[in-house]
Amino acid sequence: MTAYWTGRGERTLAGLRAFYEERAPATSNPDEKVLALFREAARDVPAYARFLREHGVDPAEVDGIDAFRRVPATTKDNYYRKSSLPELCRHGRLDGCDMVALSTGSTGEPAVWPRFVSHELESAARFEQILGGAFGAREQRTLGVICFALGNWVGGLYTLGCCRHLAAKGYPLTLAAPGNQPAEILRALRSLSDHCEQRVLFGYPPFLKDVIDFAAGQGFDWRAKPTKLVMAGEVFSEEWRSWVCGRLGVSDPPSATASMYGTADAGVIANETPLSIRIRRALARHPDAARELFGEARLPTLCQYDPRHRYFEVEDGWLLFSGDGGAPLLRYKILDRGGVVDHAAMREFLARRNVELEPGAEGEALPFVYVFGRSHFALSFYGANVYPENVSVGLEQPELAALLTGKFVLEVEHDEEQNARLRLTVELLRGVAAPSGLDAEIAQSVRRELTRLNSEFGAYVPDARRSPQVALRPFGDAEYFPIGVKHRYTRQ
C-alpha cells in the first residue's frame, strides 16, 4: 500500500466520524478552506497543475483570496474535455474513486464524473438540512421514495447514497428506490405507507406531478398521510408549488417542499430552506422587487448554501464554484446564470422594499445563491427574452393545472409571410381529452402572465403578437414529450 491509500483511508474515516458525530470541520473559514483545496489540487491533480501552467499561473503566488479570485476559471471545455478521467483525479488515479456518475446531458453529450464515498458527506448534509431541519425526519418514521432514474445517471444513485448516510446516522428513515416508473412508485407507496408517519418523494418537478396525478387516478389517497417533496433539476413557479401542495393536502408549502441545486459535476451544492421559500413566495407577489433584486424578469430558484462546503463566486453574471470531489473543481463555471446575496443584505433589502414574509422559522443565517439556469433556454422574440419560467406561471393556474402535466415546448416560428409568432405546444395529463376552448384559455393565461412578469415582453412585442399559438398533445407524445428523456422547454 502506498502512502496515498493510507491517507485516503484516514481522510474517509475522519469525514465519516465528523458527519455522524456532527462535529464541525477542522477548517471553518471558507476562504482558508478554498485556498487549501487550491494548493492541494495544484500539487496532486495532474489536469489542474497543467491548466495552471498553460495559463501562466504560479501556485506559490496565489497567497490569498484576492489572488485566488484572479485565477482563470475552469469550464467543461477548457478543463474537463481536455483531460483524461484519471488526470482529473488526485495523483492521476481513477481507482482513487469508487464509482462514476453520468450527467444527464441537458446541453449535449453526457459527461462522466468520478465519485468517492467521503465526498457524498457534504451533499448528505444538504439532505439533512431538508429532511431533519424542515421535514422533521429526525423524530418521525419516514419513507423516502426515490423517483429519479436509476443506473449511472447521477440523480437516483446519489440521492440514495446520501440518504443512506442519514439512515446510518440514526434517522428513522426507510428508503425505496423504484426509479422513474409511476406504477412501481405507486406499488412501493401502497406496500410501505402503513409503516411510516410521513412520506418523502424525490424527483424532478414535472415527473412528481405526473406521479401524484397517476396515483390519484388509481384511487391512492394522498391526504391520508403527510407527503413531502424534494426536487431538483428545474425551476418551477410558486403557483406550481401551491397547486401540487393542494393536491397533497399540504397547508404549509415551505415546510413540506424543497428544491436542491445539484450538478453531476459537484453533487448538491445548495438547497431551498423554509426561509428561502418564504422569501421567494413573497417576491413572486412583488415582481418589481424581484426584478430589482435579481436583475431579470424571471424568478430564479433561491437557495441557501454553506460556504464551507461549496465556495461561490459571481463573474459577469455567471456562477462559479469551488469544491472537493472525486475530480476537485476550482473556480468552475457551470454555465448557470445567477448571483449571491449575503444573509444580512437579503434581510435589509426585504425591509427596505416592505416585502412581508409568511410566518415560519428562520433557520440558519446562511448566504443565498439564486440560479436562473442555462441562458440558452430563453427565446428571443421581437428583441425580448421570453423565459420558460414566465410561461410556466400561465400554465400553472388552478383551472389549467388540473388538465396539464406542466410540460411544454416554446418555439418561435414564421408564417407564410415570414411574420414571427410564438408557438406553444402543451402536454395534456395522462388520459385527458382536451375540452373545447382549452387552447384559447391557455393562450390567454400565458399572454397575461408574460405581460405581467416580463416588462421587456410588454414593451417590445406588438399587442397583436403577444398571444401564443397553442397546440395540445397527448401525454407522452413521441415528437414533443417522449417518456424517459430529459425535457427541453424551448426549441430554437
Q: Is residue 223 assigned to a domain? A: yes
The neighbour count for residue 480, using CB atoms within 10 Å, is 18
Q: Which residues contact 45 (CB under 8 A, 6 or more apart)?
A: 87, 88, 89, 90, 327, 328
* pLDDT at residue number 207: 83
- Which pLDDT band holds residue 156 (cuts at 50, 70, 90)? confident
Q: CB of 384 within 8 A of CB of 461?
A: yes
Q: Are residues 196 and 81 in the same domain?
A: no
The residue-averaged pLDDT of 26-36 equals 86
Which residue has better confidence, 15 or 227?
227
Residue 38 lies inside a defined structural domain of this protein:
yes
Task: Output the nine-digit C-alpha cell for 479.
Answer: 415528437
459: pLDDT strictly greater than 80: no
129, 261 Cβ separation under 8 angstroms: no
Q: What confidence tier does 446 reach under pLDDT thresholds 50, 70, 90?
A: very high
Q: Who wins on pLDDT, 263 or 398? A: 398
pLDDT at 205: 84
Whole-angstrom distance, CA of residue 466 vs CA of residue 444: 9
User: Is the same domain home to 150 and 27?
Assistant: no
Backbone φ and ψ of 167, nearest 5°: -60, -40
Residue 155's CATH number = 3.40.50.12780
Dist. CA 111–CA 97, nearest whole Å: 16
Residue 109 lies in a domain: no
pLDDT for the residue numbered 103: 67
Domain end position, chosen among 65, 96, 127: 96
Same domain, 369 and 391: no
Q: Residue 492 — pLDDT band, cuts 50, 70, 90? A: low
> 2: pLDDT confidence band, cut at 50, 70 and 90?
very low
Whether the Cβ atoms of residue 469 and residue 419 lie closer than 8 Å to each other: no
Q: Is the pLDDT of residue 104 over 60?
A: no
- 107 is a domain residue: no
Looking at the predicted structure, is the pLDDT value of residue 481 above 90? yes
Q: What is the pLDDT of residue 17?
A: 72
Of 273-287, 317-331, 373-387, the poorest mean pLDDT is in 373-387
- Specify the higher pLDDT residue, 384 or 6: 384
Q: With b meaning 16 or more CB within 10 Å and e meaning fewer, what string describes 336-371?
A: bbbbbbeeeebeebbeebebebeeeeeeeebbbbbb
Do residue 181 and residue 38 come from a single domain?
Answer: no
Same-domain check for residues 143 and 264: yes
Exposed, middle or buried by CB within 10 Å (0-12, 13-18, 19+), for 244?
Answer: buried
379 or 284: which leads in pLDDT: 284
User: pLDDT digits over 332-346, tens only?
Assistant: 998 888 999 999 999
Q: Are residues 347 and 463 in the same domain?
A: no
Residues 347 and 333 grouped into a single domain: yes
pLDDT, averaged across the chain: 88
Burial bucket for residue 444 (CB in 10 Å: 0-12, 13-18, 19+): middle
Exposure string over 199-236, b if 16+ CB within 10 A, otherwise e? bbbbbbbbbbbbbbbbbeeeeeebeebbbbbbbbbbbb
pLDDT category at 258 given cuts 50, 70, 90 is: very high
Q: Quick one: average pLDDT of 290-295?
A: 95
Do 293 and 219 share a domain, yes or no? yes
Q: Which CATH number do you get for residue 424? A: 3.30.300.30
pLDDT of 196 strictly over 90? yes
Number of structural domains (the chain) is 3
Confidence of residue 417 (pLDDT cuts 50, 70, 90): low
* Residue 1: band (very low, low, confident or very high) from pLDDT cuts 50, 70, 90: very low
151 and 278 together in one domain:
yes
From 96, 127, 162, the end of a domain falls on 96
Which range of residues forms the domain containing residue 281?
Answer: 118-376
186 and 289 both lie in a single domain: yes
- Average of pLDDT values for 466-477? 94
- C-alpha to C-alpha distance for 102 and 114, rounded to whole angstroms: 9
Q: Across the strands, what pairs with 100?
A: 114
pLDDT at 284 over 70: yes
The answer to whether residues 372 and 384 belong to one domain is: no
* 73 against 334, higher pLDDT: 73
